[in-house]
């Protein structure tokens, strides 16, 4: 952008030419001022040289000089483009005859002064010509600015025009009418600007301009569309300045911006539509998941309830006098029932994980107790197969840890039971060692090694996939769903751990699990008040059993009677509340799914409406209904002290009852 410098005073160069130095000196003294610089020459050649190399405002030129007189110098100066515009005042002592004066003017002089010089007249003439020089320079500079501005406007990317405010007739336009719209500027001048607007925009544009004018706006902005010569359209952003009935307009091409805005708007509309579709799909999927969860929950309940009776009565009968054939047959029934429960558990756990409903708890637990209990549960199975089951725990492994002991037990139980299932001779070893430890946490390695059938190398990568087993005949020969290792892998991932397998066909396998767990404090581990190494004797406890299934009533009562307990039965939660109001009990065994009033509602009423001490009676949930949206914690949240899943293990039931009753007494 070109900008004039304001307030700057330049020195004016005055060239004094005379063959006599004293004359030059006298002129300099006469004309001296602060803003003047005097260049001096005593010959024509010297004068020309100074004129060519300096910006000269005025030349006072003596006519009579040797070698080259003033007229000759003036002619040479006027013939040169660079010096032709310099004002020359002849200073002469020769005749004042008209012929000499005319010759001076003909050679380019602007004035004549005759010696001897009148000081006042001389100063006045010099001042006048210097003022004219300055005015000429200012005019030239302004013209240059105008030319530059005109060039900028004409070559601008913006469309610029001037039109009459009443008729919209174009009076001036720049070249952008050609480069942007394709119209020749000379053809556009004299036509109406409105004729170039999109027909749909004409009335709106006129209304905008009239509205702005009525509000006395001098500058206003709007957007509309212009038609190009090829039939296309350009979106323009106009800025109008009104002055003296004329409108000075500048328009910027915003077509790309408008196209982008339209595309963004279309994309936004598309995203809104997609989000609605996704929301609907999510709703349908969630409804489907809910149906699936409800189905799995009901399936769990409907299968576990009769299996509780089947396995429970089988265990009772196995304790009686039987022939070997009878015992063998019942043992087969028991094993089949337990296998079915394992399958159900795998399917339910897998469904829970896939639905994102599996959560990892974090509480302090005794690792040694978990390991010993696991070995105790699997010992008889190993003995029945003729396999040695061995536990090896490094002395550096801390006993008190923080984590989900139930899921850690599930991982190790699955691996150990798998190892036993696929091993027909030799041993299965569960070893635990500490890989690293600090004050806050320990990294433990759990290794389950067996001498079983092993896994082919080409199958190792796939064994953690859902419904996959190493060989096609494995399911037929050994049973199972093919979900066990998948569940193990997913649980370990939820704990941010790792699992790897090393195996050789017919020589056995090693499953190595690495978990990093926070350290517990030995004092913080809850010690069971019942010594597991000693026989648990419940004594004559008064137990209220809330159970609607008749077979499970009979089974539970026989098991509890065998423990030495007295049992009253309530067919639903409402009856259980009535019985609890009129009789004191040591503990309530509460089924969850019952008619009229379920176990959760009954428990809440006991906790909220009953008075001391009955409101604090221990309540043990007995449920076959484990796959629910609220997860297992809902039993505890309802006010129950603990829960046991059906089919229940009699010894496990005895331990839980003993722990709850003794805890209640000691508290």
Q: Is the model's pLDDT at 585 over the cut of 90?
A: yes
Mean pLDDT of the chain: 83
The three state secondary structure string of 397-463 is: CCCEEEECHHHHHHHHHHHHHHHHHCCCCCEEEEEEEEEEECCCEEEEEEEEEECCCCCCHHHHHHC
Instruction: Provide the pLDDT confidence category of residue 666 given band limits of 50, 70 and 90.
Output: very low
Contact at 8 Å (CB) between 217 and 243?
Answer: no
Residue 466 DSSP class: T
Residues 131, 168 share a domain:
no
**Share of residues in the chain with pLDDT > 90 (%):** 30
Does 656 fall in a domain? yes
Residues 73, 112 share a domain:
yes
The answer to whether the bond into 116 is cis (omega within 30° of 0) is yes
End position of a domain, from candidates 465, 489, 524: 524
Does 286 fall in a domain? no
Q: The domain containing residue 38 runs over which residues?
A: 12-153
Does 354 fall in a domain? no
CB burial string 104-116: b at 16+ within 10 A, e below:
beebbbbbbeeee
Residues 656, 627 share a domain:
yes
End position of a domain, from candidates 183, 218, 253: 253
Give me the mean pLDDT over the 439-466 stretch: 87
Q: How many residues does the chain have?
A: 667
Q: What angle do CA 568, 574, 575 make, to 5 degrees?
A: 30
Give me the mean pLDDT over the 611-633 stretch: 76
Instruction: Provide the pLDDT confidence category of residue 47 given band limits of 50, 70 and 90.
Output: very high
Residues 16, 145 share a domain:
yes
**CA–CA separation, 269 and 69 (whole Å):** 89
Residues 489, 478 share a domain:
yes
Instruction: Provide the pLDDT confidence category of residue 648 given band limits of 50, 70 and 90.
Output: confident
Contact at 8 Å (CB) between 42 and 68?
Answer: no
Model confidence pLDDT, tens digit, residues 240-271: 888 777 888 888 898 888 888 888 888 888 88
The closest of 459, 470, 455, 465 to 486, measured between CA atoms, is 465
Does 131 fall in a domain? yes
Residue 530 DSSP class: S
Model confidence pLDDT, tens digit, residues 298-338: 666 677 777 777 877 887 788 778 788 887 777 777 767 76
Q: Is the model's pLDDT at 292 over the cut of 50?
A: yes
Which CA distances in Å does 562 have to 147, 567, 656? Answer: 116, 11, 16
Position 475 scores a pLDDT of: 45
Residue 108 region by backbone torsions, left for phi larger than 0, else alpha for psi between -120 and 50, else beta: left
Structural domain total, the chain = 4
Which position has the token pair 């040694």?
368
Contact at 8 Å (CB) between 551 and 595?
Answer: no
Model confidence pLDDT, tens digit, residues 105-136: 777 777 888 888 889 989 998 998 888 888 88
Position 482 scores a pLDDT of: 61
Distance of CA 267 to the CA centre of its chain: 19
Instruction: Provide the pLDDT confidence category of residue 213 given band limits of 50, 70 and 90.
Output: confident
Residues 162, 127 share a domain:
no
Q: What angle do CA 241, 245, 248 make, to 5 degrees?
A: 30
Q: Is the model's pLDDT at 472 over the cut of 50?
A: no
Instruction: Provide the pLDDT confidence category of residue 355 given band limits of 50, 70 and 90.
Output: low
Q: Is the model's pLDDT at 394 over the cut of 90?
A: yes
633 phi, psi to nearest 5 deg: -65, -15
> Token digits for 425?
């001779």
Q: Is the model's pLDDT at 477 over the cut of 50?
A: no
Residues 493, 426 share a domain:
yes
666 vs 64, which has greater pLDDT?
Answer: 64
252 phi, psi to nearest 5 deg: -105, 135
Does 2 fall in a domain? no
**Share of residues in the chain with pLDDT > 70 (%):** 83
Does 568 fall in a domain? yes
Burial class from Cβ neighbours inside 10 Å (0-12, 13-18, 19+) for residue 337 reads: buried
- What are the beta bridge partners of residue 91? 62, 113
Q: Is the model's pLDDT at 392 over the cut of 90?
A: yes
Instruction: Provide the pLDDT confidence category of residue 506 given band limits of 50, 70 and 90.
Output: confident
Give me the mean pLDDT over the 57-65 stretch: 90
CB burial string 66-76: b at 16+ within 10 A, e below:
eebbbbebbeb
Residues 75, 160 share a domain:
no
The closest of 347, 413, 410 to 382, measured between CA atoms, is 413
Q: Walk across the sheet containing 498-504 and list its strands.
A: 388-393, 427-437, 441-450, 508-518, 498-504
Q: What angle do CA 456, 462, 466 make, to 5 degrees?
A: 135
Alpha helix locations (H) across 54-118?
70-79, 98-106
Helix pair 550-562, 650-666: axis angle to 10 deg: 70
Instruction: Provide the pLDDT confidence category of residue 665 given band limits of 50, 70 and 90.
Output: very low
Q: Is the model's pLDDT at 471 over the cut of 80?
A: no
Does 600 fall in a domain? yes
Instruction: Provide the pLDDT confidence category of residue 3 given band limits of 50, 70 and 90.
Output: very low
Which CATH number characterizes residue 386's domain? 3.30.565.10
Q: Sign of dihedral through CA atoms 604, 610, 616, 619?
A: negative
HSE value, Cβ hemisphere, 13 Å, CA-based, for 218: 2
Bridge-based pairing of strands 587-591 and 233-243 is unpaired
Which CATH number characterizes residue 139's domain? 3.40.50.2300
Residues 170, 143 share a domain:
no
Model confidence pLDDT, tens digit, residues 320-330: 787 888 877 77
Which CATH number characterizes residue 177's domain? 3.30.450.20
Q: Is the model's pLDDT at 382 over the cut of 70?
A: yes
Instruction: Provide the pLDDT confidence category of residue 633 given band limits of 50, 70 and 90.
Output: low
Residues 178, 134 share a domain:
no
Position 543 scores a pLDDT of: 95
Contact at 8 Å (CB) between 228 and 180?
Answer: yes
Residues 159, 149 share a domain:
no
Contact at 8 Å (CB) between 374 and 408?
Answer: no
Q: Map residue 614 onto helix, strand or coil.
A: helix
Residues 643, 517 share a domain:
no
> Token digits for 375?
């070995």
Position 467 scores a pLDDT of: 52
**CA–CA separation, 434 and 395 (whole Å):** 9
449 phi, psi to nearest 5 deg: -115, 140
End position of a domain, from candidates 491, 524, 557: 524
> Token digits for 132?
């004219």
Instruction: Provide the pLDDT confidence category of residue 459 given band limits of 50, 70 and 90.
Output: confident
Q: Map residue 498 onto helix, strand or coil.
A: strand
Instruction: Provide the pLDDT confidence category of residue 147 given band limits of 50, 70 and 90.
Output: low
Instruction: Provide the pLDDT confidence category of residue 479 given band limits of 50, 70 and 90.
Output: very low
Alpha helix locations (H) across 436-549?
474-478, 484-494
Model confidence pLDDT, tens digit, residues 81-101: 888 888 899 888 765 555 656
Helix pair 98-106, 70-79: axis angle to 10 deg: 30
Does 312 fall in a domain? no
Q: List, in order, residues 6 or more apart from 262 with CB less than 8 Å away.
A: none
Give me the mean pLDDT over the 481-508 stretch: 86
Model confidence pLDDT, tens digit, residues 221-245: 888 899 989 888 999 898 888 877 7
């Amino acid at each position: 952008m070109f900008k004039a410098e304001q307030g700057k005073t330049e020195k004016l160069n005055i060239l004094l030419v005379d063959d006599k130095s004293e004359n030059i000196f006298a002129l300099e003294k006469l004309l001296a001022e602060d803003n003047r610089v005097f260049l001096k020459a005593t010959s024509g050649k010297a004068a020309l040289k100074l004129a060519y190399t300096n910006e000269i405002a005025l030349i006072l030129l003596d006519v009579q000089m040797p070698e080259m007189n003033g007229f000759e110098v003036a002619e040479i100066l006027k013939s040169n483009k660079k010096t032709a515009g310099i004002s020359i005042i002849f200073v002469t002592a020769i005749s004042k005859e008209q012929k000499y004066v005319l010759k001076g003017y003909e050679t380019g002089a602007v004035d004549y002064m005759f010696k001897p010089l009148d000081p006042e007249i001389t100063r006045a003439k010099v001042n006048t010509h210097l003022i004219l020089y300055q005015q000429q320079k200012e005019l030239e500079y302004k013209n240059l600015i105008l030319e530059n501005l005109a060039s900028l406007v004409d070559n601008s990317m913006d469309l610029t025009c001037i039109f009459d405010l009443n008729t919209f007739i174009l009076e001036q336009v720049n070249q952008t009418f050609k480069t942007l719209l394709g119209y020749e500027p000379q053809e556009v001048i004299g036509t109406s600007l409105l004729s170039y607007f999109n027909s749909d925009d004409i009335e709106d544009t006129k209304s905008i301009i009239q509205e702005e004018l009525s509000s006395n706006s001098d500058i206003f902005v709007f957007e509309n569309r212009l038609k190009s010569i090829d039939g296309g359209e350009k979106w323009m952003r106009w800025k109008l300045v009104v002055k003296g009935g004329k409108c000075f307009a500048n328009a910027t091409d915003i077509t790309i911006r408008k196209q982008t805005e339209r595309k963004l708007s279309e994309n936004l509309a598309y995203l809104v539509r997609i989000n609605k579709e996704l929301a609907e799909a999510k709703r349908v999927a969630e409804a489907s998941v809910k149906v699936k969860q409800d189905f799995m929950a009901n399936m769990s309940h409907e299968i576990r309830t009769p299996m509780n009776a089947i396995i429970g009565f089988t265990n009772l009968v196995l304790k009686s006098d039987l022939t070997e054939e009878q015992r063998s047959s019942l043992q087969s029934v028991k094993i089949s029932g337990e296998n079915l429960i394992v399958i159900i558990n795998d399917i339910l756990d897998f469904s829970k994980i896939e639905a994102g409903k599996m959560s990892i708890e974090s509480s302090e637990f005794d690792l040694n107790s978990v390991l010993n209990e696991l070995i105790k549960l699997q010992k008889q199975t190993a003995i029945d197969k003729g396999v040695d089951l061995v536990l090896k725990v490094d002395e550096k492994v801390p006993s008190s840890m923080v984590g989900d002991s139930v899921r850690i037990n599930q991982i190790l139980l699955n691996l150990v039971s798998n190892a036993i299932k696929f091993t027909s001779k030799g041993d299965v070893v569960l070893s635990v060692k500490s890989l690293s430890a600090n004050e806050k946490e320990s990294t433990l390695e759990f290794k389950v090694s067996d001498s079983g059938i092993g896994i082919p190398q080409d199958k190792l990568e796939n064994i953690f996939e859902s419904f996959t087993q190493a060989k096609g005949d494995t399911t037929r020969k050994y049973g199972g769903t093919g979900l066990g290792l998948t569940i193990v892998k997913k649980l370990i991932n939820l704990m941010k751990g790792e699992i790897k397998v090393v195996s050789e066909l017919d020589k056995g396998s090693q499953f190595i699990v690495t978990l990093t767990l926070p350290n517990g404090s030995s004092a913080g581990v809850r010690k069971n008040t019942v010594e597991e190494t000693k026989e648990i004797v419940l004594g004559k406890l008064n137990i209220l059993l809330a159970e609607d299934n008749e077979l499970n009533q009979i089974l539970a009562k026989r098991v509890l009677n065998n423990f030495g307990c007295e049992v009253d039965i309530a067919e639903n939660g409402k009856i259980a509340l009535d019985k609890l109001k009129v009789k004191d009990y040591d503990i309530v065994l509460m089924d969850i799914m019952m008619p009229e009033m379920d176990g959760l509602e009954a428990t809440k009423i006991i906790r909220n409406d009953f008075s001391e001490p009955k409101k604090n009676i221990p309540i043990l949930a007995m449920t076959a209904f484990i796959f629910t949206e609220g997860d297992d914690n809902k039993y505890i949240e309802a006010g129950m002290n603990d829960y046991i899943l059906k089919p229940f293990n009699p010894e496990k039931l005895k331990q839980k009852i003993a722990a709850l009753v003794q805890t209640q007494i000691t508290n």
